[in-house]
Structure 1
């Protein structure tokens, strides 16, 4: 990550709460989804003296936009109104619309490759979609409560999900049933649980130390992650050996960190919270 403070983009401020955001995979563009169902896209500038450029503002969802992911053609996003929209960020046009994609409100989304999107809902159901036509290709119903997060390993063709029922599930997306070296999972107790890849029966290590729940994690390297906690602090954490490396930033006033993401060039870390802003860090 870049160490020049003047290259940190200016914060993005909104009138309403940010539910999720995503970085473009190759350009300095960030998309945000709000509680109002609005989606914004900005081109952020590496010079803090230059304002971020507002590229797009649309309201594709009737209810809150809970999740956002980029592919190379557009921004796929999901909503509490149970719909999936694929938006061309260059024009604002809707490429694909799928109403009532789930029986329950959709809570999170993960892009698996250029044409495959995974979505998880409040009922614990996960679905895979071909975004070219909006067709469902797979459904998993292993969880009994809401899907809290999704992560994907392209190398192993493996989708990992966590749920409000306290379980972790692993799927080989090439097969219709349950199936890096390590996976790190946060918990409400502030403990990081470490799993050896392929050995999912129980975690092989636990690292306590966060005073509150760990709500979001982003991988920096194989040995370093950043965590966002409900105490409002973003921390850098070394993995094996497990060690707190320092504090990256916060949103002030104990605002919980809802999401952290890494930019396409890995120069910036960004976070969103209940203060209606997205902050950047170097």
Structure 2
């Protein structure tokens, strides 16, 4: 579904909220080159198709007065996704300059928009009124290129924080409340900021034994020093327990802050950086910095000798942190970064894109959606048991890949929105991809269980049939093994026990594919019971033969 706009789109933002809730409509904000902001409501993606807007009007009613909505309803009714449509909520122009980037607040009630001159505009989502405008503190600042609203409670429970990056490579931390401005800034990059990702938990890098021992010794030394300081304060303050407890909390704060909340930044200078926004800027280390050194709490990667244009994180299957970071480059490569190995350099690369990868968004824990400058949005599997591969084209911003470059892609649930150098936004339903991923994972598990069952049946079939009392029936076992291997042609003459013994110790019947089918069926039904139960059932089956 294509949504026409009044001018070229520069950035997109989807409203936050729990996915799939009917009472939470999906809103799309678009920043335009003309300085306008358009807010659209997407129906058919979050379960609120028949609810309409806040005024009670459905898309069909709005079609009578809104030509844009009318075209959307008619086009959606003729397509396979007849329930998917959109409605225009409002249009606002906070600046005469172009709107470079925007994002919703964590609550979804406020829209943050940055204009080209560096001003930050607070817009009320419900009424479209401009709540406040914060002008840049100094003239000739770099134009904002990216912005990201941090989740509520990520750093402070009482503040709404916002991060922005500009064309000069400066990363700024803003207080999102009305009338507030820049809190801190970092200038370790020297080229434009291309993407920002907030990691609630970034897995610490693995260290060797010597480094662990060194860190443990340093930790014990800090604890002893803090203990002596607390004892001195006790004697000086007359054993004030409340103050001592507050001092203990201050000493324990750095250890809790190692809780690994980090901001990951990519830049056109070819480096990736990790910023700990909690790190103090007034420490001795910050005061003794040399020109060009990164500030405390900042880690900068090696130069990748290529522009890093986009960034996304793959969620970990354990639910804690990210398993991989995926970075798109100017040369069309996807580079993989592992937090557990440190973020000083990439660990793997995936070639294949014919042009630069300008936008990235994660689909699941193994697959990403890439927006390239050839106008195509592709699905690429970067990890998993089936290896790295291109899965196909999800959206096309031109005829056969010759369209406008894809500058932004955003996803919430099964709704994917993308825009390029054009006056339209493309909305794609990727819910089927999410369902197919679940089916593929179930199929992979089924194939693994079937392979395990076949391997178990093969092992049972070729294993020698021993007796419980090997010392008494050793001769019969040798005769049986000889008959199975084809070397027991005279076994009937050497049998001292006669026909009865040969009947008791007859070799097992050969296992054919037809005889394995019931075994595999029974083993699949018992797979949840564990390997031990499956093995016992297989042995009983062959014993019955």
Q: Under a length normalisation based on structure 2, what TM-score does the superposition of the two structures give?
A: 0.48
CA RMSD of aligned residues (A): 1.6
1:226-265 map, 5 Å = 226-240=369-383, 241-252=387-398, 253-263=402-412
Q: 1:65 aligns with which of 99, 102, 126?
A: 99
Specify the alignment match of 1:12 in structure 2: 3
Specify the alignment match of 1:202 in structure 2: 345
Specify the alignment match of 1:110 in structure 2: 148
Q: Which moved more, 1:253-262 or 1:203-212?
A: 253-262
Specify the alignment match of 1:3 in structure 2: none
1:129 aligns with 2:174: yes
CA contact (8 A) 2:350 2:382 kept: no
1:218 aligns with 2:364: no
CA contact (8 A) 1:190 1:213 kept: yes
Question: Which has a greater percent of strand?
Answer: 1
Describe the shift of the 1:101–1:185 C-alpha distance in structure 2 as closer, same or farther (beyond 3 A).
farther
Specify the alignment match of 2:164 in structure 1: 119
Describe the shift of the 1:94–1:15 C-alpha distance in structure 2 as closer, same or farther (beyond 3 A).
closer
Specify the alignment match of 1:33 in structure 2: 31
CA contact (8 A) 1:119 1:126 kept: yes
Q: Which moved more, 1:62-71 or 1:227-236?
A: 62-71
Specify the alignment match of 2:269 in structure 1: 165
Specify the alignment match of 1:147 in structure 2: 193
Describe the shift of the 1:95–1:213 C-alpha distance in structure 2 as closer, same or farther (beyond 3 A).
same
Question: Which has a greater percent of helix?
Answer: 2
1:79-94 map, 5 Å = 79-94=115-130
Q: Secondary structure at the match of 2:329?
A: coil
Q: Secondary structure at the match of 2:43?
A: coil
Specify the alignment match of 1:191 in structure 2: 333
Describe the shift of the 1:170–1:211 C-alpha distance in structure 2 as closer, same or farther (beyond 3 A).
same
Specify the alignment match of 1:98 in structure 2: 134
For residues 243-277 of structure 1, give each alpha carbon's deviation from its aligned partner in whole angstroms, at most 9, with x where no partner exists. 111110111142110111002xx111111012211
Separation of aligned partners in 2, 1:75 and 1:101: 21
Could you tell me which runs of 5 or more consecutive residues in structure 1 were left unpaired when the two chains were aligned.
Answer: 1-9
Deviation at 1:166, TM superposition (A): 1.4
Separation of aligned partners in 1, 2:273 and 2:389: 27
Separation of aligned partners in 1, 2:137 and 2:102: 15
Describe the shift of the 1:136–1:223 C-alpha distance in structure 2 as closer, same or farther (beyond 3 A).
same
Separation of aligned partners in 2, 1:232 and 1:23: 21
Higher relative contact order (CA 8 A, sep 6+): 1
Deviation at 1:94, TM superposition (A): 2.1
For residues 49-69 of structure 1, give each alpha carbon's deviation from its aligned partner in whole angstroms, at most 9, with x where no partner exists. 475221111111221111111
1:75 aligns with 2:134: no
CA contact (8 A) 1:79 1:107 kept: no
Separation of aligned partners in 1, 2:86 and 2:186: 40
Deviation at 1:181, TM superposition (A): 2.1
Deviation at 1:96, TM superposition (A): 3.3
Separation of aligned partners in 2, 1:221 and 1:51: 25
Specify the alignment match of 1:174 in structure 2: 278
Specify the alignment match of 2:438 in structure 1: none
Number of aligned positions between the proteins? 271
1:267 aligns with 2:267: no
Separation of aligned partners in 2, 1:232 and 1:34: 19
Q: Under a length normalisation based on structure 1, what TM-score does the superposition of the two structures give?
A: 0.91
Separation of aligned partners in 2, 1:19 and 1:67: 7
Q: 1:22 aligns with which of 6, 10, 13?
A: 13
Separation of aligned partners in 1, 2:393 and 2:336: 21
Could you tell me which runs of 5 or more consecutive residues in structure 2 were left unpaired when the two chains were aligned.
Answer: 18-24, 50-75, 78-83, 153-159, 203-260, 282-295, 300-321, 430-545
